[in-house]
Amino acid sequence: MIKVSELRKEYKVHERSPGLLAAAKSVFHREYKSVLAVGGVSFEIAAGERVGFLGPNGAGKTTTLKMLAGLLHPTRGEARVDGHEPRRREDAFLKKIMLILGQKQQLFWDLPPSETFEYNRAIYDVPRKQYDETMSELTTLLDLGELVKKPTRQLSLGERMKCELAAALVHRPKVLFLDEPTIGLDVSMQAIIRAFIKQYNERWGATLLLTSHYMDDVAALCPRVIVIDKGKLTYDGKLDALSARIRPAKRVVFRFSRAVDRADVEPIGKIVSFDLAQAVLDVPRDALNEAVERALRTLPVTDLTVENPPLEEIMSELFARGEAVP
């Protein structure tokens, strides 16, 4: 569905030193510097897949999404989305895709969202019957109800995001590019948006490429992740496999019935935190059985949980390394 090979984007920016004199000079003579946003990225995404697109700020995620959506022209390399070359911006291509930008909005600010829906219906040439069906489904799934009749500026951020999603899906796009769709939302609204995105993918078989700084989004939605850093691809594969490779340890939390000695806990695993009645340890995956057995035998354990280290930690470790993961 999506095929990207050696995609590259350089920006020309003009550079000047701070200060008034430098500013005055730059009016007459400008020095341009080429900044590499995306430096030769290749990947393929099959129809119906949900893929998380991760990377630190300025890694080139948004630039890549915008190239895939046809907003930016690649400097080099090729992108294909369902057989189309995005940069040509053919109507047939634009009718299949949508880019949702969590930080920007397309709804008419002073009018109810229903006006934007109708406007998009006309632009995308959606037959009335299909439009009515889509809208009634979206209204149920997103619990829009009376929201669509209130002027957009009177809606809360979360309500607005729901309506943004609905406006973006009027034409039932087959490919969705989502750039931070949950940014700034509270936890429960994030969960609602996430669940909806997943439902949309399952209901219509749409292909999803999503960026987010909230790892919960990625963990809940994307079995596969593509990680880029400084414009280079550093990982492409299963999310679980990434965790296992970056942090070959499991995180084990023990609760004790009485205070224990730190010295007694140390042999079991690497201590992450310790406060007499509770210990959090990192234990290598292959040594897990042995470690748990030993703890149960030697310590007054009342409760224990085993989990993967939080995705946030894994990501920051990956970004800090700044190199490709085999």
- Residue 21 or residue 35: which is nearer to another protein going by CB? 35
Query: Which range in 75-83, 86-94, 230-238, 284-292 contacts another protein by CB under 8 A?
Result: 86-94
| 162: contact with another protein by CB under 8 A | no
- Residue 15 or residue 293: which is nearer to another protein going by CB? 15
Q: Are strands 224-229 and 232-238 parallel, antiparallel or unpaired?
A: antiparallel
Site for another protein in 180-219 (CB under 8 A): 180
| 54: contact with another protein by CB under 8 A | no
Query: Which range in 19-27, 89-97, 252-260, 308-316 contacts another protein by CB under 8 A?
Result: 89-97
Given strand 97-101, what is the order of strands in its sheet? 97-101, 175-179, 207-211, 50-54, 224-229, 232-238
Query: Which range in 38-46, 63-71, 200-208, 302-310 contacts another protein by CB under 8 A?
Result: 63-71
| 89: contact with another protein by CB under 8 A | yes
Q: How far is the CB of 44 from another protein (least distance, A)?
A: 23
- Residue 75 or residue 308: which is nearer to another protein going by CB? 75
Q: What is the rounded distance in angstroms from the CA atom of residue 216 to the CA atom of residue 318? A: 17
Q: Are strands 301-307 and 50-54 parallel, antiparallel or unpaired?
A: unpaired
C-alpha distances in Å from residue 270, one per residue of 52, 258, 282: 30, 21, 5
Q: What is the rounded distance in angstroms from the CA atom of residue 48 to the CA atom of residue 200? A: 10
Q: How far is the CB of 106 from another protein (least distance, A)?
A: 4
| 105: contact with another protein by CB under 8 A | yes
| 118: contact with another protein by CB under 8 A | yes
Q: Which among 57, 28, 53, 25 has a CA at the least distance from the CA of 41?
A: 53
Burial of 202 (0-12, 13-18, 19+ CB in 10 A): exposed
* Contacting residues for 319 by C-beta, under 8 A, at least 6 apart: 55, 56, 229
| 91: contact with another protein by CB under 8 A | yes
Among 2, 41, 52, 62, binds another protein (CB under 8 A): 62
DSSP letter at 95 equals T
- Residue 9 or residue 247: which is nearer to another protein going by CB? 9
* Amino acid in the structure at residue 131: Y
- Residue 8 or residue 245: which is nearer to another protein going by CB? 8
β-partners of residue 206 are none
- Residue 171 or residue 247: which is nearer to another protein going by CB? 171
Q: What number of residues does the chain have?
A: 326
Query: Which range in 110-118, 187-195, 219-227, 303-311 contacts another protein by CB under 8 A?
Result: 110-118
- Residue 110 or residue 132: which is nearer to another protein going by CB? 110
Q: What is the rounded distance in angstroms from the CA atom of residue 68 to the CA atom of residue 2? A: 9
Binding positions for another protein, rule: CB under 8 A: 11, 62-63, 66, 69-73, 89, 91-92, 94-95, 97-99, 101, 103-106, 108, 110-111, 115, 118-120, 122-125, 179-180
